[in-house]
Structure 1
């Protein structure tokens, strides 16, 4: 009976850590490696894991199996780093399994998320500086920063309001295209193409694309293809929004 209770606690900790890492945008091979290390350091003799972007399954032996669903995903690499730090502390016996579980629950409740105003400032900086790096002109610097900020604001707040995936990318890119066209027509900008390129950069799913490639190279073909398809749909939504602007104007 004691062994069963301990196995349940090990599974609960491993699955919670894995779910939080997937929700934060971690690679699948890193998720499985972390879960397995936690299980072995907790005293499990054998464990098997199976992870996908929408759920994960873990077993300890033949009779102890649990599954956990992942309902949403975002990018929060600092959360991934904190979970790995807790795992390393557990590996060297600085914290117990129970303390590890409580720390994960607290970290899940108090997820580190940058405030909206800071993300908007970062979007402005990324948009304008990348526009310059793509051989843009300094005259377009302020307009690109403003357009990039507005586009990211639509993306950020639309994600919280709309229940349909990829609508936020579409409307954000559509707004970017319209604002860039208006800026050039009002002589507030010169290079329409570079303004749009710079402004859409905060929307590009760079981390999901990178993780998809890394998962495929690591042998996680199902997860890599699923994440690659999700990133492709995001890019397609962005492209359709920009293309619709050119089509209308």
Structure 2
């Protein structure tokens, strides 16, 4: 029985890592049940929402069910891929329960994200590229690059200072709007709308929207609607920050 409960811990840890890293709900549930089946537990049930995981196994003894809470969520698709790789190794019989748990624990502790400077540079460059994609002028590339970089720095900083996600997006978009307006006022930029649109694109919750649609299509209505609501509120916060700038100016 202890062995079966150890399998449950492996499944829950794998699901937790995936959910915290931005995986779709149906993918998390499928991975957990596949891991359980690979270790000989044919009857398992999982229920996953963006904020929690419920997992149970059917045994000859009373059914054991465990709930874990998910407080923090980010985007780290590399961890999702690595958990899938561990799941495939389990299915292939290459890992024992203890070995799988140790690998998952190491993966959970690992910091695989890019450095802060790399993230800011990527956001800045992508802002300029989005401006060109939206048929902006090359003269506005540098203002969009600077505004997008500052906006991304702002959202990361405010996430650390104030643990309210939508507040951080609101302030970041506000700073983007102010900077864009200053650039245009000084004659360093030409098309204010294109600069703003390109600069806010790194803040847009694209992955969240995609996961919401995929969860809805897979029949996970609770997760799909909650992720959709979160994406809507994030987009609303970004739009409100820009709207405030136009009202002031």
Shorter-chain TM-score bucket reads over 0.9
Question: Corresponding residue for 1:123?
Answer: 123
Deviation above 4 Å: which 4+ runs of structure 1? Answer: none
Give 1:97 shift: 1.4
Deviation of 1:157 after TM superposition, in Å, equals 1.8
Mapped partners of 2:238, 2:180: distance in 1: 15
Does the 8 Å contact 1:46/1:60 carry over to 2?
A: yes
Which of the residues 16, 21, 24 maps onto 1:24?
Answer: 21
Alignment partner, residue 152 of structure 2: 152
* Counterpart-to-counterpart distance in 2, 1:98 and 1:42: 12
Helix, strand or coil for the counterpart of 2:113?
coil
Alpha-carbon shift at residue 111 of structure 1 (Å): 3.1
Where does residue 41 of structure 1 map in the other structure? 38
Structure 1: runs of 5 or more not aligned: none
Secondary structure at the counterpart of residue 166 of structure 1:
helix
Deviation at 1:95, TM superposition (A): 1.5
Structure 1 residue 59, shift from structure 2 partner: 0.7
Match of 1:173 in 2: 173
Separation in 1, partners of 2:27, 2:97 = 20
Deviation at 1:165, TM superposition (A): 2.4
Q: 2 CA distance for matches of 1:155 and 1:42?
A: 43
String of CA shifts for 1:96-142, please: whole Å, max 9, x gaps.
11101000001111131111100001001110011011110010111
**Cα-to-partner distance string for 1:178-214 (whole Å, 9 max, x where unaligned):** 0000000000100000000000000000000000000
Q: Contact between 1:178 and 1:245, CA under 8 Å: does it hold in 2?
A: yes
Give me the whole-angstrom Cα distance separating, in 1, the residues matched to 2:156 and 2:125.
16
RMSD: 0.8
Is 1:63 aligned to residue 60 of structure 2? no
Give runs of aligned pairs for residues 1-249 of structure 1, distance below 5 A: 4-61=1-58, 62-249=62-249
TM-score, structure 1 normalization = 0.97
Deviations 1:127-176 (A, max 9, x none): 00110111100101111101100000001121122122211100000000
1:45 to partner: Cα distance: 2.4
Q: Kindly indicate whether the alpha-carbon contact (under 8 Å) linking 1:144 and 1:199 is maintained by their aligned counterparts in 2.
A: yes
Q: Could you tell me whether the CA contact under 8 Å between 1:7 and 1:64 is conserved in 2?
A: no
Q: Deviations over 1:27-61 (max 9, x none)?
A: 00000000000000011020011000000111111
**Paired residues, number:** 246
TM-score by length of 2: 0.97
Q: Is the 8 A contact 1:127 1:200 kept in 2?
A: yes
Shift of 1:25: 0.5
* Native 8 Å contact 1:79 1:111 kept in 2: no
Query: Does the residue aligned with 1:219 lie in a helix, a strand or coil?
Result: coil
